[in-house]
Amino acid sequence: MFQKTADSYRQGARALPREYYTSPDVFAAEQERIFAAHWACAGRVSRLAHPGDYLVRTIAEESIIVVRGQDGAIRAFFNVCRHRGTRLCAEESGRFGPVIQCPYHAWTYTTEGALVGAPHMQEVAGFDKAAHPLHEASVAEHEGFVFVNVAASPPPFDAWLAPLAERLRRFGLAELEVGHRAEYRVHANWKLVFENYSECLHCPVIHPELAARLPYESGANDLVEGPFLGGYMTVADPHESATMSGRTCGPAINPELRDDERRRAYYYSVMPNLLVSIHPDYVNYYLLTPLAPDRTRIDSEWLFRNPGSGIGDPGSGAFNPSDAIAFWDLVNRQDWAIIERSQQGIASRRYVPGPYSPRESISAAWDREYLRLMRADRA
């Protein structure tokens, strides 16, 4: 998306072959080698504000319940009853009472995962409730985001996130509040979403509104290899932010931002399922859930700081989240439309991968990391 740096572009880099976007076998391998092995974002901690609050996310084709226990801790459980495997929860979000009960045979668990009720199992010799807790996945929190890893022995979260953590710290993301939520369904492979996000060579053609506010030749990358990629773009005068009006839509996300940071928008991709867009006055992020080789669900939220009570027109100085929401909903839909056309073209038997330009160096770097992860877990 950003200006090339000396170490980010490699001559000869080409797009991925057709089967990486169309093959059910490749799709299945991705679920095991990438999504089942690495930390995935599950959303914002604010969705789990009270004991019993829960979210259900699909990670590596597993249904995972992320819940705040009655003890206040956040945990993640496989959505699988320990009796006969029934899914415990059918809703995508909500609030449990003091327990979680299977709808089939009423096995009952605490929100901490312990089995406390198993009808008639007292008649089974040697049955021990303590031996049948819910299967647990690993959980971590950072800057208001919840991450889950379904692997039996996940890598340490802090070590994994270290290259990105320092860059995010100065923005005060943990203090931001959700102002809007949207869900998109895209008829395209999930990798095309990442690759498209990672370059803005397409912006003057596809996004004239975005290109006017954030020229595609502006800015620089600061993460050019590995699972975290991206950098910043510069807001062009006379604009102040990436909004429909070009003005800021509310207070700065962090009052301590430097003057130069108030003229920048930062964009980072986080393998395997998170895209984070940081603007001077708001943040929006995207969670990707691959549904099929040619189907992706994208959940997005817009985050703001201390919006207060005033909602006014652009330029009035009042908090106006719709200015940012409408802007990115427009840009998102432009992206989804062209990505779907890319999927259709790649599916052709005559498709041959083309070369990346220096302006697509981060897309090429994303492909390299993807291929590395696919090879790393090969048996």
pLDDT, one tens digit per residue, over 202-230 is 999 999 999 999 998 888 999 999 999 99
Q: What confidence tier does 190 reach under pLDDT thresholds 50, 70, 90?
A: very high
The number of CA neighbours under 13 Å toward the Cβ of 80 is 13
pLDDT for the residue numbered 6: 40
pLDDT at 379 over 80: no
Q: CA angle 254-269-314, nearest 5°?
A: 45
Q: What confidence tier does 318 reach under pLDDT thresholds 50, 70, 90?
A: confident
pLDDT for the residue numbered 1: 45
Q: What confidence tier does 307 reach under pLDDT thresholds 50, 70, 90?
A: low
Mean pLDDT (whole number) for 181-186: 97
pLDDT at 315 over 80: no
May I ask the CATH architecture of the domain 19-33+164-376? Alpha-Beta Complex (3.90)
* pLDDT, greater one: 376 or 283: 283
Q: What confidence tier does 127 reach under pLDDT thresholds 50, 70, 90?
A: very high
Decide if 19-33+164-376 and 39-149 have a common fold: no
Torsion of CA 148, 153, 158, 159, to 10 degrees: -130
pLDDT for the residue numbered 55: 98
pLDDT at 309 over 80: no
Report the candidate in 371, 292, 275 with the shortest Cα–Cα distance to residue 332: 275
- Homologous superfamily in CATH for domain 39-149: Rieske [2Fe-2S] iron-sulphur domain (2.102.10.10)
Q: What confidence tier does 311 reach under pLDDT thresholds 50, 70, 90?
A: very low
Q: Contact, 93 vs 56, CB < 8 A?
A: yes
Q: What confidence tier does 376 reach under pLDDT thresholds 50, 70, 90?
A: low
Mean pLDDT (whole number) for 363-375: 96
pLDDT for the residue numbered 181: 96
pLDDT for the residue numbered 8: 58
Q: What confidence tier does 314 reach under pLDDT thresholds 50, 70, 90?
A: very low
Mean pLDDT (whole number) for 276-293: 98
pLDDT at 374 over 80: yes
Q: Contact, 56 vs 79, CB < 8 A?
A: yes
pLDDT at 2 over 70: no
Which helix H or strand E contains 40, and what residues bound it?
A: strand 40-44
pTM of this structure:
0.93
**162 Cβ contact partners less than 8 Å away, ≥ 6 residues apart:** none
Mean pLDDT (whole number) for 158-182: 94
Token duo for residue 58: 């699909």
Mean pLDDT of the chain: 93
Phi, psi of 195 (to 5 degrees): -65, -40
Q: Delimit the domains of the chain by residue range.
A: 19-33+164-376, 39-149
Percent share of the chain, pLDDT over 90: 89
